Every structure is written in structure tokens, then in C-alpha cells.
Amino acid sequence: MRIVVDAMGSDNHPEPDVVGAVDAAREFGDTLILTGDEKQINAILSQQDTTGLAIQVRHASQAIGMTDKPSDVLKGKPDSSVHVGLKLVRDGEADAFVSMGNTGAILGVAMLRQLGLGRIRGVTRPSIGVIFPIKEKPFLIDNGTNAECKPEYLLQFGIMGSLYVERMRGIKNPRVGLISNGEEEGKGTALIREAMPLLANSGLNYIGSVEPKEFMFGGVDVAVCDGFTGNILMKTAEAIAKYMSNELREQIQSGPITAVGGLLAKPAFARVRKQLDPEEVGGAPLLGVNGPVIIGHGRSSAYAVKQAVGQARQMVENKVVEAITTGLQ
Amino acid sequence: MRIVVDAMGSDNHPEPDVVGAVDAAREFGDTLILTGDEKQINAILSQQDTTGLAIQVRHASQAIGMTDKPSDVLKGKPDSSVHVGLKLVRDGEADAFVSMGNTGAILGVAMLRQLGLGRIRGVTRPSIGVIFPIKEKPFLIDNGTNAECKPEYLLQFGIMGSLYVERMRGIKNPRVGLISNGEEEGKGTALIREAMPLLANSGLNYIGSVEPKEFMFGGVDVAVCDGFTGNILMKTAEAIAKYMSNELREQIQSGPITAVGGLLAKPAFARVRKQLDPEEVGGAPLLGVNGPVIIGHGRSSAYAVKQAVGQARQMVENKVVEAITTGLQ
């Protein structure tokens, strides 16, 4: 398998990106293709032990910054590490693309066949979903890509999410729910009430509206929402998890006995922290384009980059793009 | 001060409601007026020591259930404990109303002058806000009352929320923010982008868009959003807090050393749990009607009822309704 890693993606690029790719080559035995500034990439590579690993470098003379506007870079930076990388996938020279870079820009380039991969036939809006880093691993789609949606988009998110989960987790007919503010009749917004019959008649295993608590506690495999709601849900979960960790630490350290207790219980805390750590997941899949794409956080470490490559290769192995292409016909 | 408590409100009524009112009479020295079934109320009262306390009972022959539709009860249950209680406030026989009952029904009755209190002049949509039970005590408005909003509603929520926080917490010119999915230009939904200039030109201390993390970590005093978003934010926070508590407990109990650590650290956990407990706040204020109203969870304990009465009396003392009446003219 040949996986492209955008070496210019993360906030601290190219180090975490290159080191993560090297670690992935070692762990998975795949060919890793790094796109970006050859000189910078080789400087990092030279510090790594790459004996026996299949690592290639494809020079790209431009890089997209986190604050670059997608509209400016689409045609303004035709030789960026993102453009070069996505073209490798489009042209069959690679199987998947991984980047920790500017989400909007990657989405923009990936959506256009001329520059990147193009949309799968039948997909109006490609969407980034996210595997929530909790025990039951529910899949939330859209996670922020499309802030404003039409009912048909939510239907497509449901179909793509269901196929993704079926292929990636081996769950037959995953339960699909619509995130809402209650399950009673009349709840939800106009968008939700209009999406309901579309999902109910889609042939998906649609279980109706779900509230955040069902989402967190195993009540649904795929949770569908507009990107604004998905973003608020995800960021609220991150913020409250951080808040609780901070408060617990402070309260535990506020007295000698609780501090000793905290030391003894440390491995338990570490396990919960690891479970909730988005770095374990590594990145989020962009669904609806003609190729497997994983996008991670700008602040990702090499570990997260490696995990993201792991996800990308699973998407290839499980033929997620093919399933969506067939499923939306 | 004379405060009405709806004795038929909570899921386990009338016990928590009556006992909470008795505790409030003892703690605050106010007159507490219980509305509801006289016989049931007196049965609970007879088990309490009410010596020297000012507790009155106003019989109401009907009660509103949690599943009753607001449209059915408005005129269909004219002698409910909610109708009777709100009329006491309207007619100047009481200063505030507290209920753990059916939010939609209370809102419906309270909004109509004929049945309850009526809207304050200038208020299109009364709104329930919520004091978030975290350290910085940010105020979130709307918390679910109005799932779909127009930009003008958000402006009114901002004005009411700002006046509430100014009066209740003594913060001069509280910072008002709009909950959004990012602070960059072009983020948010059409609703948010249209509400922005209204808030910016309102004379409020409007600080722009805020993400959930700013909301949780002291970046804003009043966070404005539509009720759908507020509901998702609040319920996600509750769900993830519960999830983390469960996971920590499980991980701590999974081994003997961490279990001992957990025991020693117990007081620290208890302090964090108490801090995050919505029962400490007791209930949420309904703003925009002609009288102080506090609505709490159906599953409230007597303690939560007492805390809700404490909030109601603070609303009276701090003349919140008067401030909103003047502020919206």
C-alpha cells in the first residue's frame, strides 16, 4: 500500500509529519510518500533510522498555511504539498492521503477533480466525520465541514456514515440517528423535521432522533447532524473533559491525603486520559471524494500522524470509497 | 417575601416540593405558599416540623403532568397548581413562582397575561437561561426554550441575559458573546451572522463569537445562542461529565492500588461532583415575563427545590424583572 503524508501539514511541520510517516512505514510495512519541501523533509529523514523502510519524497514547492483562505490556494498554490499529494492519489500513484493541515483548503482541493480527487457521483457535499474517542466509538457526521445544511445533505451524511462504520468496524446495518434536542414529536428544527422522513425511507437502520446522552452511551453507531451542531457537540465535549481533568487535579492536589490518593490512582487517570485522547484516533475521514483522505489536528504529534496513517490504510483495505460510490448510485 | 412553590411539579411530587419549601422557609425566613392538592400537601406538611415557619397552602384542583401538551393545559386545566401559583404573582399576592414541573406548560401559562403573567413589553420570546454549574458560572441563554430563532430574538436574549447577570452577580457590563463554531470571519450560520451586527450595535459589552472552550474557561459572562444549540451544548456537557465520572470510577476500581488511591482522593472527587451538580443551582430563570419564575428539573430533590427558592428570592431582591422591563423599553 502506498500512502501519502503531507509533510507541510502540522503546526510544527515537517517534524511530526515526517517522523509519524517513518513510524507508520515501520509499523505497517507500507510505502510512505512524503510531499513538501524536499530539503526540509530530508533534513528530518536524515536523523531517522529508515533502514529497510519504503519512504519516498515528492518535492512540492509550495505549502498551505493554516490561515490561508481555501479560495486563495485552490489555484493560487498549484504546487502545494496538498495539491501534489492529492494528485498522486487521483492518478493512481498512491492509495490514500493524510494531512494535519488546513481543513478548508484540503477539502477545497480534494473536491475538485481538476486539482484533486473530485466528488463521488451523487454526493452534494463531502463531509468530515469523526470517530468519537469514547468507549463505544460512535461516528459523528458532519463534524464541522458544512455549517449550514439542507435535509438532503443530512441524508447523504447518513448513507456515507453508515457505509463507513459498516466497512471500518464490521457492524452490519449500523444504527443511524439524528442528533436533536429531544425525541418527542415536534422537537428539533425545521431542518431536522425535514430530514427525518428522508432518513426513515432511506433503507438505513434509522432509529430516529438521539440526544447527546444516547450518543455518548452506546445508543447509536452513526450520529448525523449539520456541521454547526457537530462542531458545538465535539468542542463542548473536549472543553468539559479538559475542565473536569483540571478541576480534579486541582482538588486532588489541594490536600496531602487526596494528593497521595491521586498518586496511587494515577494509572487509572492515565487510562481514562488515553481513552479520550483524540491523538489515539489520529484524524478524521473526509467522505464523499474519490479517494481515502484523513485530516488531523494541526497540533498533532508524530504519534497522531502514525495513527492517522493507520486509519487511512484501513479505509483502503476496507474499500470505503468504493462502498460509498456504489451506495450512492 | 412571599414565594410560591408548585407542590405538584417534580416527578416525585409533592414530597420534594413541599419539603424543599419548608427548608426554604426555615433558611430564608420567607413566606412560602404551596399550590396544589391540599390533602396531599398537608399529609407531607404534617410530617415536618413547621413551628414558627410562614407556610401557606393554596388548593388547586388540577395538576399538570410532565407529558401534558402545553396547548392542552392552557385552557384545559385552568385550576392547575401552575395556573393558581402564577396568578398569585400576577395579582400581587406573591413575589415569585418556583416549579419543578412541565417547562413547556409553565412557559405557556406564564406568557399569557390572561392566565399567568404576560410578556414584558418589547419581549418577543421569553427565554429560559441557565447558570452553568462550573467555576466561572457563565450564563447560557437560550437553554432550549426556543429551538428556532430569528436574529432579533438573539439580541433580546443578550439584553435579558446581560441584565440578569448584572443584577444577580453584580458584574458591571457583563461580557456577552455569541456561541459559534469559530471566531474567524465567515464562520457561523446565517442566523449568527445576522445577529452579530444587532449585538454589536446594542450598547451591550458584546465581545463577538465564542467557542465552547471560551464559554467553559471564563471567556464570557453571558453566552447567547438559539435554544437548539443551547440544549445540545448543555446536554453534551452533562453527558460527557457523567461519562468521565463513570470511566474514572471503573478504572479506579479495576485494581487494588488505584482503588485505595480512589478512597483517599474521595473528598476531591466529591468537591468536583458538588461543583458540577445542577442541584446546587436548583433551577433556571424564565426571563421576559412579568414576574420572577424559576423552573427546575423534574427529578429534583428537596435540596434542589430549596436552592431554586433561593434563586427566586435573589431575583426579587435584585429587581431583575424591573431591570428587564426598563432595559427593553
Q: Which residues of B touch A244 (CB under 8 A)?
A: 241, 244, 272, 276
**How far off is chain A from B133, nearest CA to CA, in Å?**
11
Which DSSP symbol is given to B254? T
Query: Could you say which of A231, A236, A261 has the minimum Cβ distance to residue B237?
Result: A236
pLDDT of residue A42: 97
Nearest residue in B to A258, CA atom? B265
Q: Which residues of A touch B128 (CB under 8 A)?
A: none
SS3 annotation, A116-136: CCCECCCCCCCEEEEECCCCC
Level-2 CATH architecture, domain B129-277: 3-Layer(aba) Sandwich (3.40)
Say which residues have a Cβ less than 8 Å from residue B146's Cβ, sequence separation at least 6: B125, B127, B153, B226, B227
DSSP for B257-292, please give it.
Answer: HHHHHHHHTHHHHHHHHHHH-HHHH--EEEESBSS-
**How far off is chain A from B140, nearest CA to CA, in Å?**
13
List, as ranges, residues 268-287 from B with C-beta within 8 Å of A. 268-269, 271-272, 275-276
Give the model confidence (pLDDT) of A264-303 as tens digits.
Answer: 999 998 888 888 887 888 899 999 999 999 999 999 999 9
Asked if residues B299 and B278 have their Cβ atoms less than 8 Å apart, the reply is no
Touching check for B217 and chain A: CB below 8 Å?
yes
Average model confidence (pLDDT) across chain A: 94
Give the model confidence (pLDDT) of B69-98 as tens digits.
Answer: 888 999 999 999 999 999 999 999 999 999
Please determine, for residue A187, whether its predicted confidence score (pLDDT) is greater than 90.
no
pLDDT band at A169 (very low <50, low <70, confident <90, very high): very high
Cis peptide before B91 (omega within 30 of 0): no
Asked if residues B128 and B325 have their Cβ atoms less than 8 Å apart, the reply is no
**How far off is chain A from B218, nearest CA to CA, in Å?**
11
Could B244 and A276 be called an inter-chain contact, meaning their C-beta atoms sit closer than 8 Å? Answer: yes
pLDDT of residue B278: 79
Q: Which residues of A touch B272 (CB under 8 A)?
A: 244, 247-248, 251
Residue whose C-alpha is closest to residue B268's, from B284, B289, B245, B295: B245
pLDDT of residue B276: 83
The length of chain A, given as a count of residues: 329
A125-278 has which CATH code?
Answer: 3.40.718.10
Q: Is A316 strand, coil or helix? A: helix
Please determine, for residue B186, whether its predicted confidence score (pLDDT) is greater than 80.
no
How many angstroms separate the Cα of B46 from the Cα of each of B22, B42, B43? 11, 6, 5
Please determine, for residue B55, whether its predicted confidence score (pLDDT) is greater than 90.
yes
How many angstroms separate the Cα of A91 from the Cα of each of A102, A290, A312? 23, 11, 17
Q: How far apart are CA A224 and CA A240, in angstroms?
A: 22
Could A261 and B258 be called an inter-chain contact, meaning their C-beta atoms sit closer than 8 Å? Answer: no
Average pLDDT over residues A136-160: 95
Give the model confidence (pLDDT) of A191-207 as tens digits.
Answer: 999 999 999 999 999 99
Whether B129-277 and B1-123+288-329 are alike in CATH topology: the answer is yes
At B110, the amino acid letter reads A
Domain B1-123+288-329 fold is: Isopropylmalate Dehydrogenase (3.40.718)
Q: How far apart are CA B24 and CA B282, in angstroms?
A: 12
Cis peptide before B14 (omega within 30 of 0): yes
Please determine, for residue B103, whether its predicted confidence score (pLDDT) is greater than 90.
yes
Average pLDDT over residues A71-83: 95
Asked if residues A212 and B235 have their Cβ atoms less than 8 Å apart, the reply is yes
Please give the model's pTM, rounded to 2 decimal places: 0.92
Average pLDDT over residues B13-19: 97
Give the model confidence (pLDDT) of A250-268 as tens digits.
Answer: 999 999 999 999 999 999 9
Q: Which residues of B touch A257 (CB under 8 A)?
A: 264, 267
Could A264 and B260 be called an inter-chain contact, meaning their C-beta atoms sit closer than 8 Å? Answer: yes
pLDDT band at A138 (very low <50, low <70, confident <90, very high): very high
**How far off is chain A from B225, nearest CA to CA, in Å?**
11
Q: How far apart are CA B250 and CA A223, in angstroms?
A: 26
Per DSSP (E only), the strands in chain A are 2-6, 31-36, 55-59, 96-99, 127-131, 139-141, 175-179, 205-210, 222-224, 284-287, 293-295
At B157, the amino acid letter reads F
Give the model confidence (pLDDT) of A29-65 as tens digits.
Answer: 999 999 999 999 999 999 999 999 999 999 999 999 9
Could B261 and A266 be called an inter-chain contact, meaning their C-beta atoms sit closer than 8 Å? Answer: yes
What is the four-CA torsion angle of A75, A79, A82, A86, rounded to 10 degrees? 90
Q: How far apart are CA B222 and CA A125, in angstroms?
A: 34
Q: Where are the domains of chain B?
A: 1-123+288-329, 129-277
Touching check for B197 and chain A: CB below 8 Å?
no
Residue B45, judged by CB atoms within 10 A of its CB (0-12, 13-18, 19+), counts as: buried
Give the ipTM.
0.91
Could B244 and A244 be called an inter-chain contact, meaning their C-beta atoms sit closer than 8 Å? Answer: yes
Could A181 and B147 be called an inter-chain contact, meaning their C-beta atoms sit closer than 8 Å? Answer: yes
Asked if residues A261 and A252 have their Cβ atoms less than 8 Å apart, the reply is yes
Please determine, for residue A229, whether its predicted confidence score (pLDDT) is greater than 80.
yes
Cis peptide before A14 (omega within 30 of 0): yes
**How far off is chain A from B130, nearest CA to CA, in Å?**
16
pLDDT of residue B313: 97
Place of cell 479560495: A71
pLDDT of residue A302: 97
List, as ranges, residues 126-185 from B with C-beta within 8 Å of A. 134-135, 144, 147-148, 179, 181-182
pLDDT of residue B281: 83
Give the model confidence (pLDDT) of B156-169 as tens digits.
Answer: 999 999 999 999 99
Give the model confidence (pLDDT) of B227-276 as tens digits.
Answer: 999 999 999 999 999 999 999 999 999 999 999 999 999 999 888 888 88
Which DSSP symbol is given to B51? T
Average pLDDT over residues B201-220: 95
**B183: Cα within 13 Å, side-chain hemisphere:** 11
Query: Could you say which of A215, A232, A258 has the minimum Cβ distance to residue B264?
Result: A258
Percent with pLDDT over 70 in chain A:
100
Average pLDDT over residues A69-84: 94
| Residue A186, C-alpha cell as written in the block | 415536534
Please determine, for residue B207, whether its predicted confidence score (pLDDT) is greater than 90.
yes
Query: Residue A57 forms beta bridges with which residues?
Result: A34
Pairing state of beta strands A31-36 and B96-99? unpaired
Could B212 and A232 be called an inter-chain contact, meaning their C-beta atoms sit closer than 8 Å? Answer: yes
Q: How far apart are CA A265 and CA A238, in angstroms?
A: 22
pLDDT of residue B251: 92
The length of chain B, given as a count of residues: 329
A–B: how many Cβ contacts below 8 A? 171
Per DSSP (E only), the strands in chain B are 2-6, 31-36, 55-59, 96-99, 127-131, 139-141, 175-179, 205-210, 222-224, 284-287, 293-295
How many angstroms separate the Cα of A158 from the Cα of each of A152, A154, A175, A325? 10, 6, 10, 14
Q: Which residues of A touch B190 (CB under 8 A)?
A: 148
Torsion-angle region of residue A300: left (phi > 0), alpha (psi -120 to 50) or beta? beta
